[in-house]
Homo-oligomer: A and B are copies of this chain.
Amino acid sequence: MLPWQADLDGRVDEHVIDSESLRGNPLNDPHRRPLWVYVPPGYDDDPARAYPSVYVIQGYTGHLAMWRNRTPFRQPFVETADQVFARGEAPPAIVVYVDAWTAYGGSQFVDSPGTGRYHTYLCDEVVPWVDAHYRTLPGREHRAIMGKSSGGFGAMITPMLRPDLFGALATHAGDSLYEHCYLPGFAEATRHLRAFDGDIQRWWKEFQTRPAFTDPADGVLLTVLGCSAAFSARPDGTPEPPFDPRTGEVRPELWRRWLDWDPVRMVRTVPEYADAMRSMRAIWIDAGTKDEFYLDLGAEAFRQALLDSGVSPDVVHFELFEAGHGAIDYRYPLSLAWLARRVSG
């Protein structure tokens, strides 16, 4: 009923996928997960035709239902993504909306004793399920992944780990260059933890007893907790923040485990990751010039690491735009269209 609202020309099918990998996950999060699959206009008319697929993953604290959120004067991505195809801006593609939410707000799309096996779930369960249930074009060269923020991170690392599955990616303000995107948060977190005797678990317990995000500490502490669960959990699953919670001093061994997941360092130091990147057909990198987490620098550094590793400039689209970290969903259809063109044909 809103002037800027649109009916879809394509169709979103809402599924539930029963994940083996997530069964018994350490946070007792559901192992039955929502999975949305969008098919473009015409999908039902031509049952012989197969389509490339683009996997869409979310930023920290995102969960699938939020894709339907409406904001004033803008359309949700589900609608703007549909328009990409409805308007013929790109060859038709299947778009897969993947859920990887956890009790901490996210999984970083990795396998971790702190959260669960979200990387395995995505690569070994969701992808095969989609291929089995939809007429996707087989082969990595027709499969892309995209996301923003932590979703952008996932879109960078998943193809590094599984170039056999993904041949293209788009990262919008994706977590990278950890000295700038994460370290400042440790300082803030340390200050906030003074009220919790330096114990992030105390904060976490308290957080769960009241409306979320009513304490200014909540945002950064949740990120620290969740990323520690993903990157530096003990074998028993306990998240260990990579800094002394009373002084903010970095703990080198734990911080090293985080840095091992920094996409910039991954490309620079692990030959098979560089190989994987060189094998990509398309890499979209963008970020806002005022990104609060300095992910514009992360974007620049990731691009530079790619080029230094021999990735051809021809496959890279790089762009900084005037914006911060938030409310940049209007960028997604641009990369979706570009990816769809690159992984078609």
Interface residues of A (CB under 8 A from B): 1-3, 5, 16, 29-30, 32-34, 61-63, 65-66, 68-74, 101, 103, 105, 177, 179-180, 183-184, 186-187, 190-191, 211-214, 244, 246-250, 264, 289, 294, 296-297, 300-301, 304, 322-323, 327, 330
Contacts and interface: CB of A to CB of B under 8 A. Distances in A.
B213 A327 contact: yes
A249 B327 CA distance: 26
Contacts of A301: 244, 247-249
> Nearest 10 CB-CB pairs, A to B?
A73-B212, A61-B72, A211-B330, A247-B301, A248-B297, A69-B69, A180-B187, A247-B300, A187-B294, A65-B70
Nearest to A28: B3
Given A179-B249, A183-B184, A187-B294, 19 more contacts: A1-B32, A1-B34, A61-B72, A63-B70, A66-B70, A66-B72, A68-B68, A73-B212, A177-B249, A180-B187, A187-B297, A191-B289, A191-B296, A191-B297, A211-B330, A213-B327, A248-B300, A249-B301, A249-B304
Contacts of A327: 213
B72 A212 contact: yes
Contact of A105 (B63, B73, B330): B73
Given A183-B180, A249-B304, A33 B1 contact: yes
Contacts of A250: 179
Contacts of A249: 177, 179, 264, 297, 301, 304
Number of copies: 4
A294 B247 CA distance: 10
A300 B193 CA distance: 13
B297 A190 contact: yes
A179 to B, nearest CB: 5
5 contacts: A1-B32, A68-B68, A179-B179, A179-B249, A247-B297
A245 to B, nearest CB: 11
A187 B287 CA distance: 15
B65 A2 contact: yes
Contacts of A3: 29-30, 103
Contacts of A62: 72
Given A246-B304, A297-B190, A214 B72 contact: no
A212 B323 CA distance: 12
Given A179-B250, A301-B248, A70 B69 contact: yes
A212 B74 contact: yes
A301 B250 CA distance: 10
A96 B248 CA distance: 34
A103 B244 CA distance: 37
A152 to B, nearest CB: 16
A63 B3 CA distance: 12
A184 B66 CA distance: 32
Contact of A61 (B30, B73, B322): B73
Contacts of A32: 1
A304 B244 contact: yes
Nearest to A106: B72
A72 B71 CA distance: 16
